[in-house]
Amino acid sequence: MANGGYIVLTLEFHKEGKKWVAYCRELGTATFGYTLNDAEEKLKEAVSLHLNTLEDVGEREKFFKKHNITYHSHKPPANVTITTSIKGDIFVKPYARAVPELSFA
């Protein structure tokens, strides 16, 4: 991404009945899908919409500061995408997301 960097978000997944619930801890964005892959794709789309909206209304930098979202000038190592299981039925997956450059970075 030209003139940009990355943020790392925490994606959390758990099963409720026949649905997978997906949640981004830092943004508070949530959705669901009938498969884990479907839930993950829907969450990534919701994250994009959330970040784009923050950018459009000029609140991204303020939101990042308030929620301790760290801006990285380089993409984190590939191993940041490892999925782990916690508590047996909750899965957490770091997600490196490209974003435009921040003025406070």
Residue 86 near residue 92, CB atoms below 8 Å? yes
Residue 81 has pLDDT above 60, yes or no: no
Kindly report, residue by residue over 23-71, the tens digit of the pLDDT.
999 999 999 999 999 999 999 999 999 999 999 999 999 999 999 898 8
Q: How far apart are the first and last CA of the chain?
A: 16
Higher pLDDT, 4 or 81: 4
Please report which confidence band the pLDDT of residue 105 belongs to, taking 50, 70 and 90 as the band edges: very low
Residue 1 has pLDDT above 80, yes or no: no
Give the contacts of 53 (CB within 8 A, at least 6 positions apart).
none
Question: Which pLDDT belongs to residue 99?
Answer: 87
Residue 104 has pLDDT above 70, yes or no: no
Residue 83 has pLDDT above 90, yes or no: no
Closest CA to 34 of 46, 22, 50: 22
Kind and range of the H or E run holding 41: helix 36-56
pLDDT averaged over every residue in the chain:
85
Domains delineated in the chain: 4-99 (3.30.160)
Question: Which pLDDT belongs to residue 82?
Answer: 47
Give the contacts of 94 (CB within 8 A, at least 6 positions apart).
8, 9, 10, 11, 76, 80, 81, 82
Cα separation of 78 and 48, whole Å? Answer: 20
Angle formed at CA 90 by CA 79 and CA 13, multiple of 5 degrees: 75
